[in-house]
């Protein structure tokens, strides 16, 4: 997959993420991840934190020179001492440096209308220099209830 094809896939999924098929197969984002909270409250998680497995596969193909592997973790870290739990895990990319990044957050970088080749170079530079902001990366996934 080329950077342009990936950008089109992401843009299409962002514009019409209602569970229907995207232009290159399944939607890039999953809209069924929920978090359970206090007193039985349940809330849906923003799909831009929840990439599909297909999206992870496409992104790995673009970042193969950085040797990422897929790990499945909650959409974002909550820490272990909070009362919330997710109903599902989503794909993250783990790099040899130990940096672990949410696939959906990385993929959404390609949905802003910037040149996809420039965006790919920027993402690779950010990963190589570990310049992503704290909170975008995770080492403590927090609780998960499946």
145 lies in some domain: no
Residue 133 belongs to a domain: no
Which 3-state string (H, E, C) describes the chain?
A: CCHHHHHHHHHHHHHCCCCCCECCECCCECCCCEEECHHHCEEECCHHHCECHHHHHHHHHHCHHHCCEEEEECCCCCCCCCCCEECCCEEEEECCCCCEEEHHHHHHHHHCCCCHHHHHHHHHHHHHCCCCCECCECCCCCCECC
- pTM to 2 decimals? 0.80
Q: What is the pLDDT of residues 12-48, one digit of tens each?
A: 877 665 544 444 446 888 888 999 988 888 989 888 8
Q: Is residue 111 part of a domain?
A: yes
Domain count, the chain: 1
Tokens representing residue 100 in the block:
């672990």
Q: Is residue 86 assigned to a domain?
A: yes
Q: Is residue 138 part of a domain?
A: no
Residue 146 forms part of a structural domain:
no
In a domain, 144, yes or no: no
Show the domain range for 61: 3-128
pLDDT band at 9; cut points 50, 70, 90 = confident
């Amino acid at each position: 997959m080329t950077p342009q094809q990936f950008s089109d896939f992401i843009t299409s999924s962002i514009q019409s993420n209602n569970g229907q098929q995207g232009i290159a197969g399944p939607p890039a984002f999953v809209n069924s991840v929920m978090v359970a909270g206090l007193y039985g409250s349940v809330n849906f998680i923003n799909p831009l934190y929840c990439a599909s497995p297909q999206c992870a596969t496409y992104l790995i193909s673009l970042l193969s020179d950085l040797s990422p592997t897929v790990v499945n973790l909650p959409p974002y870290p909550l820490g272990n001492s909070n009362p919330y739990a997710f109903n599902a895990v989503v794909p993250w990319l783990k790099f040899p440096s130990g940096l672990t990044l949410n696939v959906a957050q990385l993929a959404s970088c390609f949905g802003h209308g910037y040149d996809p080749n420039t965006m790919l170079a920027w993402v690779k530079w950010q990963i190589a220099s570990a310049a992503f902001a704290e909170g975008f990366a995770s080492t403590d996934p927090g609780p998960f209830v499946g």
